[in-house]
Structure 1
Amino acid sequence: MKDFFKYVLATVVGMAAISIIGLLLLFMTIGILVSTTEKKVSVQDNSMLVIDLERQIVDRAPNDPFQDLDIPGFPQQKTIGLDNITESLSKAIHDDRIKGIYLKLSAVNGGMASVEEIRNALIAFKDSCDKPVYAYGDSYDQKSYYLATVADQVILHPLGTVDFRGLGGELMFYTKALEKLGVEMQIVRHGKFKAAVEPFMLEKMSEENREQRLVYMGSLWNHMLNGISGERSIPVEQLNTLADEVQTFKQGNKAVESGLVDAAKYKDEVLDDLREITGIAKKKGVPIISATSYAGVPVKGAEKSFSRNKIAVIYASGDIGMSMGSGAAIIGDEVGKEIRKVRQDSSYKAIVFRVNSPGGSVFDSEVIWREVKLAAEEKTVVVSFGDVAASGGYYISCAADQIVAQPNTITGSIGIFGMIPNMGELLNKKLGITTDVVKTNKNSDLLSTTRPMTAYERDLMQETIESGYDLFISHVAEGRGMTKEQVDEIGQGRVWSGENAKEIGLVDEFGGLQDAINLAAEIEGLENYRTVSLPEQLDPFQQLLKTGSDNVRARFLKNELGEKYKYYEYLKKTSSMEGIFARMPYDLNIY
């Protein structure tokens, strides 16, 4: 028996030692791979700057060299930073080595406001130099086509199509399914437009929800049409006719005939065009450099001199108060701490708060709002909206001095809701599971999910929601110089486009992040300044180890599920929801 335990102990120790050695070897291997990728990037003469938007567009490029490494067992979801794209385009204006921009646009994995920001940066590029912008797509969806139209040449594969048919959206309603399962969703809300709960209480859209969707979708579509019309010289009426006829299945030459694209070409012909632009001899490879790589390259004439005056650019992306391992999230204490540090540092002259969020926890939103308000009392605070800044995303922004958004940003949704499921029938009648309770006080089992809410509980919940909504509109009224009645009239959970929001006073100016930075500098009278992006990013190894096994599992799932990963993420978020939420009714994707 003594020998048995000795051998068992030796085996355990041996396995532990092998695991530690294996982990060390893994880190050494990764370190070697990372060091090979950190070599200085060189730009060849006669190069094309390539912007490939099949990668997921994020506001800020991650400090994650692993995403470009094909390490067995560590698949990566590749991203591209909006900051890298705009910085690269700004530098390329002054760089004689860059002969033009090549847009790879078979797909655009980002939101409409991000597309607008890139499109505006490309227009600025064209206005500042005589270098061409060349767009090619195997096919174009409506979002990628909108971006492509800014190019000097829009090229399509002969068998490719332009998916041009207008905007539409479909909602799924679960009321009857829940009835069959024996689940009742007990809903408390303020705001007739707060449609997040409608799938659980109705069988079709309410008239209010239908109205708000038609208004903001019409705004987005008209803005897109005007942009396309301006670049392609096709009247808006004709574009609407083409959309009504549906261009989705009309290949290459048909798209040329309609004027949507300039030519239908195979890839070898596209390469010949790029050789002509760069002056490269036939059959030779065209030198290219990606926006991600080029963003870190110093370019003479594009570098700003050092300044002691700093503008903080604080990024807040994701759902508020819901951390999902590797996913983007806005945690109240963490973001609040960053704002507080900048407020207390005299070297920072202004704050630009970049918000890209559909909302989330009211508590975390309040924590951030308080810090923004305190900061705005001491420094200039300008908020820059990304693709979406709605509900809690607007809550954390409304105390700023100025709000800058794109016309196709999704915002508003000023409202609050709560949902308590009653699964008593499912458990008792469907599954045969019964429950019992012991309590010391009358309401000790408050908000149980195995029975209906009592009248007292419902009144208590409604009072909490009403109080939260009153606080929300009070913050907006104070920050925007409006009365509570005015905010309530445009609130009620209603979603607006950035264009609509400017008309009703929720937004001050149109523009992207750089426009917000320029505005902050102008308000402060700064001619020389530098920007500092916050929070500080983790180094590569910290990035890898962040949240441990959860992060690794998420990487695998993202690789396996691709676009469908978002549905898994929705389920995880829903199961983790606690407390009262101020969140946009749905996530909006345009194709």
Structure 2
Amino acid sequence: MKDFFKNVFATMLGMFLFGVVMSFFGILCIIGIGVASTATNDIKNNSVLVIKLDGQMTEQSEDNIMNKINGISGLSFENTVKAIRKAKDDKNIKGIYIEAGQLGADLAQAEEIQNTLLDFKKSGKWIVAYGEQFSTLSYYISSAADKVYMNKEGMVNWIGIGGEKVYYKNLLAKFGIKFVTTKVGKYKSAVETLTADNMSAADREQTERYLNGWWSTILNTVSKNRDINKDSLNAYADRAIVLEDAENIVKYKMVDGLMYNDEVKSKIKKMLSIDQDETVNQVSVDDMAGSDDATTGKHIAVYYAYGDIVDEASPQSVFSNGHQIVGKDMCKDLQDLANNDDVEAVVIRINSGGGSAYASEQIWHQIAELKKVKPVVVSMSGAAASGGYYISSDANWIVADPSTITGSIGIFGLFEDMSELYTKKLGINYAEVKTNRNSVFGASGHPFTPEQLGLLQNNVNHGYMIFKKRVAEGRHMTLDQVEKIAQGRVWLGEDAVKIKLVDELGGLDKAVAKAAKLAKDTDYKTCSYPAPKSIFEQILNTEQNNYNNLDEHLQMLLGEYYEPFKIISDFEHMDKVQARLPYIIKIK
């Protein structure tokens, strides 16, 4: 009888806790719906669009309901560009105020935003930028403003572009771990961080090319916007003026004046002709971008594909992988777009350094099928290389930004050899039982045999040949012509257009216009795909958000030792044959 009451009590307690949890989710959903419904308020007269260039920029607006509940505004390329364009035509928006900070973005994204701001100025409206600590990219974008102000104790990170590539071969060897690689292409250097102890001449060649190309783009734009000689800008970078007194930054014409935060707000009020005790009507990027009804009827679909290309979504891990292009999911989405009669053409916005060769092939096939029923145009963002180029190659038309990283036509296989760790370091013994010579292919107790390495290399060679064939068919080239520009070599967009890897230089707007032209639609609308996750899906995904936060803390704690642990963690879930870009130095 005693056990009976215990079981009844436990059951009742479980039902009560379940009810509490479900009620909590219900309340969050109701709050979320309320937040979403108020995100499209009418824009008041005499308003200012506020663009906060701080934090990591995503490609697509991810519409994170938890961020909205907490009052956190997301930072996406999609909404930033959309908001600026709508603000240009909205009579209630009088100007744009840029709050510049430590922006993390691709130069291609920054270049398109900067060009959109320059177009905004054609309306006669003003742009004012203010920053306490400008990163190189946030300053680059802010240079389009009519006036650029800085905090009296602020700084501009103007030192050029550079960075370190870290090599872990010797560190891993101390633990008895090594990686065996099979690859095609002398420029296919993604594996070198695990298999070499220094940068190869080929990798240095391509890295210097894209860094110098990026810096040239930044120099030319800032020189034109700020009317500063490029030689002077280079001299400022050499002297690392980021460490100089703020007064010197004004003297160098990098900024127009020094102000505290409250002083620049006072200036904005004067420009709006309102009293100092009045409140400025501020409009966020998300509110401006989402202030109209969803697209209905015939339209051009803009499908965002960004992150690593993977066969299946990675399991939750403290080593977060960020956004991913999941092969199965994207194929399903493309099938749906093909069957959607309202979709007249598809623009695929790609920002990926590649990943799984298998998943890349599946996506390539689905794009080829989609192209049979409606035009497909690719818009390349920061990167569309290796697997990212693989899935681009069969589009009707390819548009790339001049600073896009593309090409890297090559394949590699990466295989771990932990036999020394197991047998010599840990003292584990293995006894094999097998019917054929290679029945225990990849066994833990010994390295790969020469025969097995040869078989792996043949497999990679086969993948490389298929990759080249896809490019040759899509770009109307011979295999020999592809081979001359392949070998895993990375190309800037401005170089890729000269060798016919891309058709045109430009941003997303050019890609959309081309898609509409191919669809013979002169009065087109656009709609973003894939659709954002529902409120309920986001709530159920809060555990992954917790992992993402833990991952950020691990990066700060482990520093340069974070990467080898992440690589080993990722390796367990990674397709062993990859079409992946080498590590790319990011602009800060």
Given residue 10 of structure 2, which amino acid in structure 1 is its aligned partner? V
* CA deviation after TM superposition for structure 1 residue 502, in Å: 1.8
Which residues of structure 1 form unaligned runs of 5+?
none
SS of the aligned residue for 1:353 comes to strand
Report the AA paired with residue 239 of structure 1.
L
Amino acid in structure 1 at the alignment position of 2:87: A
Equivalent residue number for residue 354 of structure 1: 349
Residue 467 of structure 1: which of 448, 462, 465 is its match?
462
Deviation, structure 1 residue 571? 5.6
In structure 2, how many angstroms separate the alpha carbons of the residues matched to 1:278 and 1:65?
A: 33
Structure 1 residue 403, shift from structure 2 partner: 0.9
Shift of the alpha carbon at 1:578?
Answer: 2.6
CA spacing shift, 1:557–1:240, aligned 2, 3 Å: same
The answer to whether 1:481 aligns with 2:476 is yes
Give, in whole Å, the separation in 1 of the partners of 2:107 and 2:555.
20
Does the 8 Å contact 2:105/2:137 carry over to 1? no
Retained in 1: the 8 A contact 2:516–2:522? yes
Q: Secondary structure at the match of 1:105?
A: strand
Given that 1:216 and 1:500 are in contact with CA atoms closer than 8 Å, whether structure 2 keeps it comes out as: no
**Aligned partners of 1:363, 1:148: CA distance in 2, in Å?**
41
Q: Could you say if the C-alpha distance between residues 178 and 488 of structure 1 is closer, same or farther in structure 2, counting changes exceeding 3 Å?
A: same
Instruction: Tell me which of 70, 82, 89 is aligned to 1:87.
Output: 82
Aligned with 1:537 (options 520, 529, 532)? 532
Aligned match of 2:19: 21
Range that drifts further, 326-335 or 197-206: 326-335
Q: Could you tell me which residue of structure 2 aligns to residue 314 of structure 1?
A: 303
Cα deviation for residue 253 of structure 1 reads 1.0
- 1:236 matched to 2:233? The reply is no
If the length of structure 2 is used for normalisation, what is the TM-score? 0.93
Distance in 2 of aligned mates of 1:347 and 1:31 = 30
The equivalent residue for 1:133 is 127
**2:158 pairs with 1:143:** no
Cα–Cα, structure 1 residues 109 and 563, in superposed 2: closer, same or farther, change >3 Å?
farther
Contact 2:162 2:585 in 1 (8 A): no
SS in structure 2 at match of 1:179: helix
Q: Which residue of 2 aligns with 1:411?
A: 406
Q: Is contact 2:53-2:99 (8 Å) kept?
A: yes
- Match runs of 1:289-328 below 5 Å: 289-298=283-292, 308-321=297-310, 323-324=313-314, 327-328=322-323
Give 1:490's aligned amino acid: I
Distance 1:118 1:540, change over 3 A: same
By how many angstroms is 1:307 displaced?
7.4
Deviation, structure 1 residue 104: 0.9
Deviation sequence 1:98-148 (CA, Å, 0-9, x none): 110011111213221111121111111112x11111111101121111111
With over 3 angstroms needed to count, the CA separation of the structure-2 counterparts of 1:569 and 1:185, relative to structure 1, is closer
Instruction: Give me the whole-angstrom Cα distance separating, in 1, the residues matched to 2:417 and 2:552.
Output: 36
Q: In the alignment, is the contact (CA less than 8 A) between 1:351 and 1:379 conserved in 2?
A: yes
Residue 43 of structure 1 is matched in structure 2 by: 43
Take 2:278 and 2:382, find their aligned partners in 1: how far apart are those partners?
40
Q: 1:473, CA displacement in angstroms? A: 1.1
Q: 2:547 aligns with which of 529, 548, 554?
A: 554
Shift of 1:559: 7.0
Residue 587 (structure 2) pairs with residue 590 (structure 1)? yes
1:354 partner letter: R
Query: Match for residue 195 of structure 2?
Result: 201
- Residue 106 of structure 2 is matched in structure 1 by 111
| 1:264 CA displacement | 1.4
Shift of 1:563: 7.8
Match of 1:8 in 2: 6
Letter in 2 for 1:41: N
Alpha-carbon offset, residue 80 of structure 1: 2.1
Taking the aligned partners of 1:154 and 1:400, their CA distance within structure 2 comes to: 41
The more displaced of 147-156 and 341-350 is 341-350
* Bigger mean CA offset, 479-488 vs 318-327: 318-327
Give the partner amino acid of 1:9.
N
Q: Per the alignment, do residues 538 and 437 of structure 1 end up closer, same or farther by CA in structure 2, a change over 3 Å counting?
A: same
CA deviation vs aligned residue, 1:410-448 (integer Å, no higher than 9, x gap) = 212111111212111111211222222222322111122
For the Cα contact (< 8 Å) 1:422–1:450, is it kept in 2? no
Give 1:524 shift. Answer: 2.6
Deviation string for 1:507-536 (max 9, x for gaps)? 222222222111111233211222232223
Amino acid at match of 2:304: Y
Relative distance call for 1:344 and 1:17 in structure 2 (3 A) is closer
Structure 2 SS opposite 1:116: helix
Shift in Å, 1:569: 6.4
Counterparts of 1:564 and 1:152, CA distance in 2: 41
- Rounded to whole Å, the distance in 2 between the matches of 1:345 and 1:495 is 36
Selected match of 2:258 from 252, 255, 264: 264
Specify the code of the residue in structure 1 equivalent to 2:43: V
Distance in 1, matches of 2:279 and 2:566, equals: 42
1:115-264 matches, within 5 Å, as 115-127=110-122, 129-264=123-258
2 CA distance for matches of 1:164 and 1:445?
55
Report if the CA contact (8 A) 1:318-1:330 is conserved: yes
* Mapped partners of 1:143, 1:292: distance in 2: 21
Query: How far apart in 2 are the matches of 1:67 and 1:450?
Result: 49
Deviation at 1:244, TM superposition (A): 1.2
* 1:45, distance to aligned residue in structure 2 (A): 2.1
- Among residues 430, 434, 446, which one is paired with 1:439 in the alignment? 434
1:503 aligned counterpart, secondary structure: coil
Contact 1:319/1:358, CA 8 A, preserved across alignment? yes
Comparing 187-196 with 497-506, which one deviates more in the overlay?
Answer: 497-506
Structure 1 residues 558, 447: CA separation in 2 closer, same or farther (over 3 Å shift)? closer
Q: Within the alignment, does 1:54 sit opposite 2:48 as a pair?
A: no
Contact 2:407–2:489 (Cα < 8 Å) also in 1: yes
Supply the AA of the counterpart residue of 1:553.
Answer: N
Q: Would you say the 8 A contact 1:356–1:389 is kept in 2?
A: yes
User: Measured at CA, do residues 239 and 194 of structure 1 come closer, stay the same or move farther in structure 2, by a change above 3 Å?
Assistant: same
Distance 1:555 1:67, change over 3 A: farther
Q: Which residue is equivalent to 2:522?
A: 527
Letter of the structure 1 residue corresponding to residue 550 of structure 2: L
Cα distance in 2 between the residues matched to 1:561 and 1:99: 44
How many Å separate the matches in 2 of 1:36 and 1:346?
A: 32
CA distance in 2, matches of 1:251, 1:576: 49
Q: Secondary structure at the match of 2:582?
A: coil
Please tell me the root mean square deviation across aligned C-alpha atoms, in Å. 2.3
CA drift of 1:452 comes to: 1.1
Identity level (%): 34
Structure 2 spans left out of the alignment, 5+ residues: 317-321
**Secondary structure at 1:411's aligned position in 2?**
strand
Name the amino acid aligned to 2:305: A
Aligned to 1:66: 66
Instruction: Check the 8 A contact 1:307/1:528 in 2, yes or no.
Output: no
Between 208-217 and 178-187, the greater mean CA deviation after superposition: 178-187
